[in-house]
Amino acid sequence: MLVSLKCYVVNYIIGKVIDVRRRFLQLYELNHSSLYLLVMNENKLLRNKLILGVTGSVAAIKIPCLIEKLLEIGFEVRLVVTDNSLNFFSVDTVSVPVYKDIDEWTRWKKRGDPVLHIELRNWADILLVAPLSANTMAKVAYGLADNLLTTLVRAWWFPNEQNIIHKPVYFAPAMNTLMWQHPFTHEQIERLVGRLHWKCIDPVQKTLICGETGIGAMAEVSDIVNCLKQELNKNLF
């Protein structure tokens, strides 16, 4: 009987090894996009919950395209918009949950009720603010919290000795060239990148909506998506 038990255990282990090898080969043969979705659907440790914050810049017209591309590579997206951002695109053009300033107040009535900006912070793995206007950059760099997005940012996880949670923040500035070159802008970016370890997706040079040509346009959607794809790569296995 002992011999039979040993044989059973050996066969069981061999079977598991074969299963693991077969599974590895299946994953290896998949293209990257399919791999992201497969891992996500099988509840692996993929940190793919992303909040996209949108501020008042003409670059917000690219939001529907950006959301589509983020969904394609495996992100689950929720959209947090400022009132000014809605001058440039309609939330009716996107297929993800959208949260506005008014939602912060209509969802909360009394002590103990869920607080929206805290719920969103706890749900998300990654925060992307794109486009980030000069106005909102100044606000978040100095801790202002006067709407849903800036309040969410103010309550976001930050690196310190007690906080072991890592939830990265990416931001893609978009503004006029002189706004981008302004010394205040560089001070604010230093605060966000140097002190909070945020990651800046630099603007690019092109003819801006004002007719001037220079650096300040939001990075291309493909470049933003590639930066975020790296976060998925870090958590595939």
User: Which residues carry out catalysis?
Assistant: 210
Length of the chain: 237
Cα 177 to Cα 198: distance, rounded to the nearest angstrom:
22
All residues at 6 or more sequence positions from 142 whose CB lies less than 8 Å from its CB, including other chains: 188, 191
Judged by DSSP in three states, 161 sits in coil
Distance (Å, rounded) from C-alpha 232 to C-alpha 34? 13
Strand, coil or helix: 77: strand
Q: How far apart (Å, rounded) are the C-alpha atoms in residues 135 and 34?
A: 39
Question: Of 237, 236, 216, 231, whose CA–CA distance to 50 is shortest?
Answer: 231
